[in-house]
Amino acid sequence: METKGDENTQYAKHIRNILLVFLVIFAISFLKLASSILLPIVIAMFLFMLLNPILNRLDGTRIPRLLSTLIVMVLVVLVSAVFIYVLFLIVNMLLSKLPYYAMRVNEIDMLISQYIAPLLGMDGAEFSIIDYLDINWYTLAIQSLSSFSSSIIDLFSDWMLVFLYLLFILLERSSFPEKIMSVLSPEKALRVSKLSMKINRQIAKYIFLKLMISLITGFLFYAVAILTGLDFALAWGVLATILNFIPTIGSIIVTAGTIIMAVIQFMPSWITVLYIAVLMISIEMIMGNIIDPKLQGVKLNISPLVILISLAFWGYIWGLAGMFLAVPITSTLQIFMANIPSLKGIAVILSTGKIREEGRIRHGKMHENTSDDIQMPEIQTLTRNSNTDENQNN
C-alpha cells in the first residue's frame, strides 16, 4: 500500500518530467526562431576553436597578441574571399555552358524515350520523358543558379557578422582565465579550464582532420574529372570538399551528381560513364567508409547512429549550416556531459561505448592532464597565486 509520501514523490516526478518536456520544446523553438542571432555566434565559436592552436603557436613566438589576432583575422578573410570567388566562378561557368547541356539532355531524352515508349504503349517518335513528367528543368536550372548567386551575396553579408563576433572573441581570449577565476574557486576554475581546453582541443583536431580529408577528397574528384574529361572539374572538386563535411548525405549528393553529369556528357558511351562511376564511388567508399568513420568514431567517440540523428536534428533547426555544425556540436555536448556525473549516462549513449575520464592512468602514462596543464598557463598561474595568498593569510 502506497503512503502519502510515495504519492507525493510520484506526483513530483510526473511534474518534473512534464516540465522537462516543455523545456526541451521551448529550447528547440528558441534555437530555430533565434537562428539569425545564434548561428553566427556558434560559427564564430567553432572558428575560434579551429584557430586557437595557431594563436597559441604565435603567442609562443612572443608576437604581441594584438598582432597575432590581426594575422589570424587577415588569414580568415583571405580564405573566405577566395572561397566566395571560386563559388562565383563556378556559377558563371555553369551558366555559360547551360545551353549546350540543354541540347544534350534533349538528345538523351529522345534516346531513352525510344525504349520507354513501348512499355507505356506510346509512339516512340512522339513520346518524351521530360514532357511526360511535365518538368521545365531548363528554367528551373537557371532559377536555381540565379538564386544561388544571390545566396552567395547573402552569405558574404552573414560572414561579415561572423567575422565581427570572431574578432571580439579573439580580442577577449586573454581575459577569459581572469573572468573564470573571479567567479569560481581556484580548484573549480582549473577544472572548468581543463574541460574547456579538452573540448577546444578535440573539436579543433576534428575540424582540422576533417578539413584535410575533405581537401584530399576534393582533389581526387578534381583529378578524376580532369583525367576522364568530365566537365566542371573545379566544381566537382569544390563540391566534394564542402559536402564532405556533411556525413553520408554529402558524399551521396556529390557522387550522384558526377554520375549524372557523366551520363549527360558521354552517353551513349556507357563504358566511360561506368568508368567514372566506379572511380567516384571508390573514392567515397575509401574516404567515407574507412577514414571518416575512424575519425568520427575514435577521435570524437560518437556513435555513427547519433551522428545521423544529430545531422537530421540540426539540419531541421539551422538548415544547411546546421548540418555542417552537427558533428562539432554533438561532440561538444558529449564531452560536457561526460564530465558531469548526473549526465554521464547520456554521454555514454551518445558515444561508441567508452567514456574516458580525466586523469585516468592508461598504459602507464598520464592521460589528458599533461596537455591541459601546458595549454592553460594563465589559470595555473592565477591558481598558484591564489593558493599563496591563502597560505600567507593563514
Given a contact cutoff of 8 angstroms between Cβ atoms, the answer to whether 253 and 241 are in contact is no
333 burial level (CB within 10 Å; 0-12, 13-18, 19+): middle
The tens place of each residue's pLDDT in the chain, 394 residues long, gives 456 566 677 777 778 878 888 888 898 888 888 888 888 888 888 888 888 888 878 877 878 888 888 888 898 889 888 888 888 788 778 777 877 887 787 777 777 777 776 666 666 566 666 666 666 666 777 777 677 666 666 667 778 888 889 988 888 877 777 777 777 777 777 777 777 777 777 777 778 888 888 899 999 999 999 999 988 888 899 889 988 888 778 888 899 989 988 988 887 778 888 999 999 999 988 887 777 766 655 556 677 788 888 888 988 888 888 888 888 888 888 877 877 777 777 778 877 665 444 444 344 443 434 333 334 444 444 444 445 544 544 4
Residue with cell 551528381: 257
**What is the distance between the alpha carbons of residues 15 and 5, in angstroms, rounded to a whole number?**
15
**What is the distance between the alpha carbons of residues 211 and 79, in angstroms, rounded to a whole number?**
13
Strands (DSSP E) contained in 41-140 are none
Given a contact cutoff of 8 angstroms between Cβ atoms, the answer to whether 233 and 226 are in contact is yes
CB atoms within 10 A of CB 82: 10
**What is the distance between the alpha carbons of residues 240 and 217, in angstroms, rounded to a whole number?**
6
pTM score: 0.73
**What is the distance between the alpha carbons of residues 140 and 131, in angstroms, rounded to a whole number?**
14
DSSP classification of residue 365: E
Measure the CA dihedral 68/71/73/79, to 10°: -140
